[in-house]
Amino acid sequence: MKKILIAVDDTKSSKEIFSKCMQICKCMSPEEIILLYVEKFEGKSLIDEMLGDAELGTLKEVLEGTEYKEALDRRAANVLNYYKGQLAAGVPGLNVRTEIKSGHPAEQIVAVAKAEDVSMILIGSRGQRAANLLFMGSVSREVANTADRPVLIVK
């Protein structure tokens, strides 16, 4: 297996899921791991529903260089450094690269996977109840439904 993309965030469930991702990486021995953190505006994905692509693009441009964006970047870098350290300690010798993107998480995960030509996407599932999925959607479900390569959803 050439490349594996692992999508991470700063939630407790992501931390719990990551130990399983490390076990998978030990078994598959990929040439490269890409750790991806997608910055998202605070709150659920309501802003994604309210604004079109053009408006979201404009909002991202306006936020660029602000303290808010810098804080998001620092948080993302801290999370990625933590997981990169976990991989280095748990699976020595792996070639690990980190990437920070911003926008709708599922779309960014699928776009990076395609651009990097990864062999597999590893993503966690928070195990939300069905009622919540109807209203908020599920990043892992959307990635699984739209990606053109294998997706392993880790619980």
CATH number of 3-154: 3.40.50.620
Residue 84, exposed/middle/buried by CB under 10 A (0-12, 13-18, 19+)? middle
For 108, the 3-state DSSP assignment is helix
Domain boundaries, the chain: 3-154
pTM for the model: 0.81
**What is the tens place of the pLDDT at every residue in 22-69?**
898 889 889 999 999 998 754 445 555 666 666 666 666 666 677 877
Residue 1's pLDDT is 72
Tell which residue, 33, 49, 31, has the closest CA to residue 41.
Answer: 49
Tell which residue, 39, 22, 36, has the closest CA to residue 103.
Answer: 39
